[in-house]
Structure 1
Amino acid sequence: MTGVTLEQVVKRYGDVQVIHGVDLEIADGEFCVFVGPSGCGKSTLLRMIAGLEETTTGTIRIGARDVTRAEPADRGVAMVFQTYALYPHMTVEENMGFGLKMTGHPKAEIKGKVAEASRILKLDEYLKRKPAALSGGQRQRVAIGRAIVRGPEVFLFDEPLSNLDAELRVEMRVEIARLHKEIGATMIYVTHDQVEAMTLADKIVVLRDGVIEQAGAPLELYRDPDNRFVAGFIGSPSMNFVAGIVRGGAIEVAALHMTVAPPVTLPSDGTDVLLGLRPEHLAVDPAGDTHFVDLTEALGGVSYAYLTSDTGEKIIVEERGDLRSSAGDRVGLTLDPERAMVFDAATERRLR
């Protein structure tokens, strides 16, 4: 297996530029997830690596090979799409081995590779079935098996779980994580679902408008985001952002009815900033009277209280334990200043 390198990669459609000079290093055997909102360029970037979209300028390398202008079949990649793209008249075994059959591989070799892929994906009992007799999750496993049989250097996944229901998505996330651990291949995975990104990735690449906002390990991005966009995109529920103003070396936050002194270098007095607080870094004060509880989502071991401040800001707080707030309550808030993040209100860059 091998890694992937992008150097100043640009994609234009006529006069419209959608990928803006992307530099990225994906290590051998790494599970890299491209994540971001719709239209951010993540699927376009994946298709450029696959050779399904032409690279306008820049260089794409797979291992030591420059594949920027190479045909898709010559790049050593296999792609798994959102749609399963299985032949309905063929059995699972025939679907998985069809690519090798078309390239003239011996029958014994095809049979051996299909058997190995089937073992990895636990498909042995389905080999003689046709796609119509399979569930959505089983069909997606067959599509992944077809990619494994090809023996690629790099696996590319383009939102492969989008067509599955919630339970199957969780099941297939586990399957894909186990697959990566077993075969150790380099994998690049596109999703708009940051939960998928957090649970699968060795490295997350957060994209916005064709630019990499930040790349790093999941918890690195969660704990140490570079800007408001990354801080708000990574994490579920999203980070709370409340407006504040710097006064006397601290931040006055009207929405919280308090002054906060986080351990960062603050700009001059009078500067507008945003205070970022994860829901788990806030706590409800039942004795307070500054916020109204609009809704409480009770999820068992954890609840999320949706609050509105007296000044109209919406805030989400995570609650655990036996005593939790209820809709209609009047409460206050407490927080640990050490956990607060501060962002410049104008540039949205993180202040450290």
Structure 2
Amino acid sequence: MAGVTLTNVVKKFGPVGVIHGVDLDIGDGEFCVFVGPSGCGKSTLLRMVAGLEQTTSGAIRIGARDVTALDPAERGVAMVFQTYALYPHMTVAENMGFGLKMTGHPKEEIRAKVAEASRILKLDPYLDRKPKALSGGQRQRVAIGRAIVRGPEVFLFDEPLSNLDAELRVDMRVEIARLHKEIGATMIYVTHDQVEAMTLADKIVVLRAGKIEQVGSPMQLYSDPNNRFVAGFIGSPSMNFLEGRVETGRVRIAALGDVAVSTKVALPAEGGTVLVGLRPQHLTVTPGPSAITLDIRERLGGVSYDYLTAPGGARLIVETRNDETIAEGTPVQVGFDPAHALFFDPVTEQRLR
């Protein structure tokens, strides 16, 4: 196995730049997730590591080797795509071993590697089936098995669960996490789903417009975001953002009933504005006279999400975990612990610390 290092990596399609000087270290055996909105460059960056896209400038190293100019087959990587790309006329075993067969590996070696991959992925009952006799999750496991038998230094996953339904996505997410624990390989995984990123990653790389916004563990990004973009992207439901005005060293939030909050962060001058970030689970709602209205309550069993409208049209999401029934359309009072509030510059959107 081996780590991956990207040094000032740039990718342009003609005059259009899509990756802008990315520097990144992924440790040996680490599970690294590239996450970000559509068009941020995460799949392009993964394809550059795979060698499917040529690097305009910069360097990519896998272990001790500079692989920037190498063909995909020489890089020691295996890629699992969003589409399964299985051969319909071959059995599961034949699909998994086909790559080794084409490179001239002995039959016994192929058989042994397919058997090991099948054991890891629990595919033994399906080895003689054709892809049309498999479910979507089973087909994706076969595609992963095909990558395993190659014995790569680095596994690359490009949104592998996007074609699965919600229940299968959860099941496959657990399977991929178990796979990483069992084989301990370096894995790079691309997704737009921050839930997948949070549950799978040792390290998350948040991308926007071809640049890295922040790198860290899931809980580091969740609890200590560097800017509004990361704070709003990581966490579900998304963080609430409200305008606050600096008065006598405190932040007054008009949307929450003109409440004033004390903080130790470096605030703008008197009369300046900040963005106050509050996660849904750090807010509480109680019935009472207020200009804030409960519009919609989504009941999901053990948890509910309340959608509120505050003065000035500000929208809030509150996570609740109690049996109290508050009718939709009821005025409510919103409370929160100031210790959980985060503050951002409204112009640069950088975190105030």
What TM-score comes out, normalization by structure 2 length? 0.99
In structure 2, the residue matched to 1:341 is 342
SS at 2:181's partner residue?
A: helix
1:282 aligns with 2:283: yes
**Match of 2:178, as an amino acid?**
R
In structure 1, the residue matched to 2:324 is 323
1:263 aligns with 2:227: no
Deviation at 1:322, TM superposition (A): 1.8
Deviation at 1:310, TM superposition (A): 2.4
In structure 2, the residue matched to 1:56 is 56
Describe the superposition over 1:113-163 as per-residue Cα deviations: whole angstroms up to 9, x where unpaired.
000000000000000000000000000000000000000000000000000
Deviation at 1:268, TM superposition (A): 1.0
Retained in 2: the 8 A contact 1:84–1:140? yes
**Which blocks of at least 5 consecutive residues in structure 1 are unaligned?**
none
1:64-103 pair list within 5 angstroms: 64-103=64-103
**Which blocks of at least 5 consecutive residues in structure 2 are unaligned?**
none
SS at 1:99's partner residue?
A: helix
Deviation at 1:188, TM superposition (A): 0.1
**After the TM superposition, which segments of 4 or more aligned residues of structure 1 sit over 2 Å from their partners?**
none
Describe the superposition over 1:191-239 as per-residue Cα deviations: whole angstroms up to 9, x where unpaired.
0000000000000000000000001000000000000000000000000
SS at 2:322's partner residue?
A: coil
Task: Name the CA distance, whole Å, in 1 between partners of 2:294 and 2:45.
Answer: 43
In structure 2, the residue matched to 1:109 is 109
Retained in 2: the 8 A contact 1:245–1:271? yes
In structure 1, the residue matched to 2:228 is 228
Describe the superposition over 1:22-55 as per-residue Cα deviations: whole angstroms up to 9, x where unpaired.
0000000000000000000000000000000000
**Match of 2:307, as an amino acid?**
Y
**Match of 2:179, as an amino acid?**
L
1:174 aligns with 2:138: no
Please give the root-mean-square deviation of Cα atoms over the aligned residues, in Å.
Answer: 0.8
Deviation at 1:288, TM superposition (A): 4.0
**Match of 1:174, as an amino acid?**
V
In structure 2, the residue matched to 1:291 is 292
Describe the superposition over 1:288-322 as per-residue Cα deviations: whole angstroms up to 9, x where unpaired.
42311110011111111000012210000111122
SS at 1:287's partner residue?
A: strand
In structure 1, the residue matched to 2:241 is 241
In structure 1, the residue matched to 2:25 is 25
Deviation at 1:262, TM superposition (A): 2.7
**Match of 1:66, as an amino acid?**
D
Task: Name the CA distance, whole Å, in 2 between partners of 1:260 and 1:144.
Answer: 51
In structure 1, the residue matched to 2:46 is 46
Task: Name the CA distance, whole Å, in 2 between partners of 1:155 and 1:307.
Answer: 44
Deviation at 1:324, TM superposition (A): 4.1
Task: Name the CA distance, whole Å, in 2 between partners of 1:252 and 1:281.
Answer: 18
Task: Name the CA distance, whole Å, in 1 between partners of 2:278 and 2:317.
Answer: 9
Retained in 2: the 8 A contact 1:246–1:272? yes
Residue identity over aligned pairs, in percent, reads: 73
SS at 1:351's partner residue?
A: coil
Retained in 2: the 8 A contact 1:288–1:333? no
In structure 1, the residue matched to 2:12 is 12
1:147 aligns with 2:151: no
Deviation at 1:64, TM superposition (A): 0.6
Task: Name the CA distance, whole Å, in 1 between partners of 2:25 and 2:111.
Answer: 35
**Match of 1:218, as an amino acid?**
P
Deviates more, 1:159-168 or 1:266-275: 266-275
In structure 1, the residue matched to 2:218 is 218
Describe the superposition over 1:235-258 as per-residue Cα deviations: whole angstroms up to 9, x where unpaired.
000000001111111111111121
Deviation at 1:323, TM superposition (A): 1.4
**Match of 1:201, as an amino acid?**
A
**Match of 2:13, as an amino acid?**
Y
Retained in 2: the 8 A contact 1:101–1:110? yes
What TM-score comes out, normalization by structure 1 length? 0.99
**Match of 2:315, as an amino acid?**
K
Task: Name the CA distance, whole Å, in 2 between partners of 1:10 and 1:30.
Answer: 23
